Structure 1
Amino acid sequence: MNFIHNPNQIALYSDSQELLAEVTFPNLNATTVNINHTFVDPSLRGQGIAGKLLLEAAEEIRAQGKLALPTCSYAVKWFREHEEYQDILK
């Protein structure tokens, strides 16, 4: 997967630049982001793409030295299942 890292978003686009999947994490303040949205196109569901997006986001947030406040239901569940990323939770 070739995820595109944009400010506060990690996305996957088709060859025609159609959005196929994304996770968004806007800044709440200088040290905290809100993981507020995860989307995977129905044609790609069941392939673990949402989990890969969250992994990429968690690694990016950690690399930026920020904390995450997950409000997206998928992100909340993902962090519950990945104890190795509890250190970045607000």
Structure 2
Amino acid sequence: MMEIKEGKDRFVLLNDEGNEAGEMTWSNAGPEIMIIDHTFVDPTYRGQQLAQKLVAAGVDKARKDGKKIIPLCPFAKKEFEEKPEYADVLRK
């Protein structure tokens, strides 16, 4: 079972042994904007919707913190294009 933990400007995906299996990083552009700039999942774990879960964690954080997201990372950008339910946190 994978676990997602929040670190400094990133969410880390940890495998059962507690090793990093992926991450999503962001930078803050002022107090109201998060820029998702990188999403990565180790090739061993691909195909399990884990990158989607990392982006979803970022969306949850933005909602909780009252922020908007600029998805610069190509994967996050695709997620925002495919998921209208993320529109509330997308910086237009």
The alignment's TM-score, normalised by the length of structure 1, stands at 0.91
SS of equivalent residue, structure 1 residue 47? coil
Residue equivalent to 1:36:
37
- Higher share in strand: 2
Count of aligned pairs between the two proteins: 89
Distance 1:31 1:18 in 2: 32
Q: 1:7 offset after TM fit, Å?
A: 3.2
Residue equivalent to 1:83:
84
Distance 2:31 2:8 in 1: 14
Q: 1:26 offset after TM fit, Å?
A: 1.1
SS of equivalent residue, structure 2 residue 30? coil
Q: CA RMSD in A?
A: 1.2
The C-alpha deviation readout for 1:30-72, integer Å capped at 9, x for no partner, is 1101000000001001111001111111011111100100100
SS of equivalent residue, structure 2 residue 48? coil
Distance 1:26 1:33 in 2: 6
Unaligned stretches of 5+ in structure 1? none
Distance 1:68 1:8 in 2: 13
Q: 1:20 offset after TM fit, Å?
A: 1.0
Could you tell me the percent identity over the aligned residues?
35
